[in-house]
Each structure stands twice: as C-alpha cells, then as structure tokens.
Amino acid sequence: MGKDVIIACDFPSRQEVLAFLDRFAGEERKPFVKIGMELFYAEGPEIVREIKARGHKIFLDLKLHDIPNTVMKAMRVLSGLDVDLCNLHAAGTVAMMKAALEGLTRPDGTRPLLIAVTQLTSTDQQSMEEDLLIREPIEKVVRHYAQKAREAGLDGVVCSPRESAEVKEACGKEFLTVTPGVRFADGDTGDQKRVMTPAQAKEIGSDYIVVGRPITGAADPVAAYRRCVAEFLD
C-alpha cells in the first residue's frame, strides 16, 4: 500500500457510519477508513466485514495492550477479518509485540500490517511526566518505542507528525509512520496537542495521515476529504 489519507470513522452506530460512507458512493477513490473502539464495541466484527465488502481498506484501531498470550490470541481473531492495518501499544513490551505478530500471521504467511502506538497525540511533555512518571523528553520516548517496535518486527508506528521524521531517521525510510493529530490550517485543534496540517505531514514524510473531525464534522465531508487528499498526496 502507498501513502494515503485515512478517515477516522468514529461513529457510535452502523447506521451513522454507513450513512457517512454513502456520501462517497460516487467517488472514484474509495476512502481508506479507520474503525475504532467506539464503533467496533457497538457493532462488533460484522461492521468490519460490511465496510470491507463495500471496497474500503480498513485500519482497525483497537490499540491492544495485554499480556503476550492474550494479545496473540486476540490478533489471531482479528487476522480473520481481512483488515489492512491494525495496532497495539508499544508500551506492552517487545515480547507482547512479537506475540501479536505471531497471532496475526495466517497459515499461508500473509497478515495485515501491524503498527505500534508510541505516545498518544493527546499526551504532551507535562502529562507524560506528571501522569505517567516518564521523565525523558517525549521525542526520545517516541524514538525508543519506535526502535523497540522495529526490533519486534512490526511494520511501523503511530506517532505525531512532529515525530515522523525522527522515527524515519531512527528506524529507516521503509518503517511506516501513521500520523493522527492532523488538522487543516484554518481548523480547530480540539483535544489534540501535537498537530500538523496535511501539507506539513507530507513535507516531513508521514506515510499515512489519520483525519477525523475535520472531515466527519465538516459541512461537506467529501469536499473536506478531497482537500485533505490534495494537500497530502497531490
């Protein structure tokens, strides 16, 4: 898969997400979509199958984080949903990430891409130090987690666009960076603290950007998506 814009379909129900995706029925480019906890917990695996049947690539964003054996078994289930990309927390350790890869890999050797969350884009230096008791600079923490994900054999990481270039430097150009926290220059940053525009994310080398409210909350979501694609890909 090449670089792309991923729409975060953070809707509470099947009806709402399908009504949203219906807006793109006439588009030549089928949007790559992210299904997160809210929708997955509300509708279960069937919503993944239904959206996949419509021809969309899917990033299943469940951020697994548990003991290695539990994560391995969970990934074995997720590998049967034919998603294109899924994730876990790098903080679960190299052992957990290796177990996840084992569970995700099908008998024929194929598997979805697997990436690790480094630090959530809602986390800043102050909250990391005060809430998580991590005293190192956030850039150093993200770099370390990325290197551990690469050591475990993962395909890339989720990180802020601000850390994408440093991750590439530490882990190689082929190591994927999937970057949420992307907002239009004239948009509201909401609860995100480490943000960039699509054009800035392109400039520093992000492979995928994840964009939610600037598209899903727009008066014209299709136009907002096209704008995002134009700024990031064209």
Name the residues annotated as catalytic: 63
Q: Is 146 exposed, middle or buried (0-12, 13-18, 19+ CB in 10 A)?
A: buried
Closest CA to 95 of 103, 107, 85, 106: 103
Say how many C-beta atoms besides its own lie within 10 A of residue 169's C-beta: 12
Element counts in the chain: helices (H) and strands (E): 11, 8
Residue 75 corresponds to which tokens in the numbers above? 């990934």
Give the C-alpha separation, 160 to 142, whole Å.
Answer: 9
CA distance 89 to 152: 12
Token pair belonging to 218: 């727009």
Distance, CA of 76 to CA of 50 (rounded, Å): 20
